[in-house]
């Protein structure tokens, strides 16, 4: 799989509008059982270095097999935690996009369903502005 943001809590963080600090922009909705710290109660340095939310999937110690013994683990960092959570209901599972994942059949089923969907999609409606607004 592709590395999620170069690894969970390795390079990026997102502060959402209410002040929660996330290792990934979609983490709070994809992984509801993980508590994310808020900038109103902790400083960013502490959140980045010490918080459970940033450390749970940081590095390689958390990885299950087959990730733990995979030669790609330092390259893909186990893939996307949000994708694992959404498709397997457990963020700690192997990313189901990986061909070595025990849950790969879930990804294959989603792809098959998406590729076989009907052509009954509505026509795109583009917004047009007949006269541009003055600048």
In a domain, 60, yes or no: yes
> What is the count of structural domains for the chain?
1
DSSP classification of residue 62: T
Alpha-carbon distance 46 to 57, whole Å? 17
Global pTM reads 0.80
In a domain, 88, yes or no: yes
Helices first, then strands: H and E counts in the chain: 6, 2
pLDDT for residue 119: 65
In a domain, 75, yes or no: yes
The mean pLDDT of the chain is 91
In a domain, 118, yes or no: no
Neighbouring-strand partners of residue 38: 20
CB 21 within 8 A of CB 14: yes
In a domain, 62, yes or no: yes
In a domain, 133, yes or no: no
CB 93 within 8 A of CB 64: yes
Alpha-carbon distance 96 to 66, whole Å? 11
In a domain, 52, yes or no: yes
pLDDT digits (tens, 9 = 90+) for 79-120: 999 999 999 999 999 999 999 999 999 999 999 988 876 666
In a domain, 25, yes or no: yes
- Average pLDDT score over residue span 46-51: 98
pLDDT for residue 125: 76
Neighbouring-strand partners of residue 15: 21
CB 39 within 8 A of CB 21: yes
Percent of the chain at pLDDT > 70 equals 92
Q: Indicate if the pLDDT at residue 22 is higher than 70.
A: yes
Q: Indicate if the pLDDT at residue 121 is higher than 80.
A: no
pLDDT for residue 47: 98
Supply the range of the domain harboring residue 62. 4-103
pLDDT for residue 132: 67
pLDDT for residue 127: 74
pLDDT for residue 117: 66
DSSP classification of residue 74: H
Q: Binning pLDDT at 50, 70 and 90, where does residue 128 land? A: confident
């Amino acid at each position: 799989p592709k590395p999620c943001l170069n690894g969970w809590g390795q390079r990026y963080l997102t502060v959402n509008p209410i002040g929660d600090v996330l290792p990934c922009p979609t983490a709070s909705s994809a992984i509801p059982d993980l508590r994310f710290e808020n900038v109103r109660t902790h400083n960013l340095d502490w959140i980045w270095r010490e918080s459970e939310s940033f450390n749970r999937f940081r590095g390689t110690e958390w990885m299950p097999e087959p990730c733990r013994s995979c030669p790609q683990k330092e390259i893909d960092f186990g893939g996307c935690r949000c994708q694992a959570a959404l498709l397997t209901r457990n963020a700690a599972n192997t990313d189901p996009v990986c061909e070595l994942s025990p849950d790969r059949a879930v990804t294959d089923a989603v792809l098959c369903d998406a590729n076989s969907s009907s052509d009954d999609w509505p026509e795109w409606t583009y917004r047009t502005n007949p006269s541009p607004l003055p600048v």
